[in-house]
Amino acid sequence: MDYMVRALRLAERARRTCKPNPAVGAIVVRDDRIVGEGYTQPVGGAHAEIKALEQAGALAHGSVLYVTLEPCSHHGRTAPCVDAVIAAGIREVHVAMVDPSPWVAGRGVERLTQSQIPVSIGSHGDEARQLNEAYLSWVEHGRPLVLGIPAASPRRTALSLNARNLSENGNDLRLDVDRIVFDSDDAEITLTSESWQATLQTLATQQVQSLILVATPERLYELEAGGLVDRVLAADALMDDPASISRMTRQTPDDVPGVFVSESESCLRAS
């Protein structure tokens, strides 16, 4: 069995419940047998490694840990996972990818190696990165992941998406977003790169990690060329599977520059 693949599947279970934390899966293996497994719990709950170690109990001593993201090394809402891994007597750790966030950034791996625990990095790293694409945009670039939907009438398209009563249990990784934003239909009102960048930075401070921007094709490709839209998706495919957008915020604080909510509209408008 490829234990890292199993850990990635566990991490997927956390993807819609653990934000703003990354979705992580962990497995404890002893004598080629899984003795513990876990995934990130909702905010304030245990991380994946802790759940796996708890399930393994005494069997964790001398076992091997497979985890999809580097164990955390800082005190946040919970204690550092790396301390628990060391205390449990894990003899070897396999990590799919290093956590690039400024509060971890390799220090978890460093703590393990300082404790004489061998660490291997990179198994299924691309899959692990895709799984937490929005989180990684947030910590690496200081802005949400932006998926563009081209539309001749952005307002109508965005409201049509919203009117479909989108599920909170969608299963399409590409379109698991926190917000839907639409650009003005008025050609005289221009969504500039500067205003959009400021909006993204403000939303990032509010822990918004991903969004869809519905705008004209010309405006989307201009923003994409400037590095402010990550990729442009086909509107037809989205319309065919509206439940693929699993999370939407229907309100926005008044202090977000360039984005506001009309009293009769539950999508956000960028201007």
Active-site residue list: 49
Q: Where are the alpha helices (DSSP H) in the chain?
A: 3-14, 48-56, 81-87, 107-114, 125-131, 133-141, 154-163, 193-205, 217-225, 235-240
Q: Dig out the tokens for 108 from the structure.
A: 């978890």
Q: Is there a contact between 123 and 96 (Cβ–Cβ < 8 Å)? A: yes
Strands, DSSP E only, in 46-197? Answer: 64-67, 92-95, 119-121, 145-150, 179-183
Place of tokens 């008044």: 254
Alpha carbon 136 to chain centroid, angstroms: 7
Angle at the Cα of 107 from the Cα atoms of 101 and 110, rounded to 5 degrees: 150
Q: How many Å apart are CA 213 and CA 14, to the nearest integer?
A: 25
Three-state secondary structure call for residue 190 = coil
Q: Is there a contact between 166 and 243 (Cβ–Cβ < 8 Å)? A: yes
Cβ density class 146-169: b for 16+ within 10 Å, e for less: bbbbbbeebbebbbbbbeeebeee
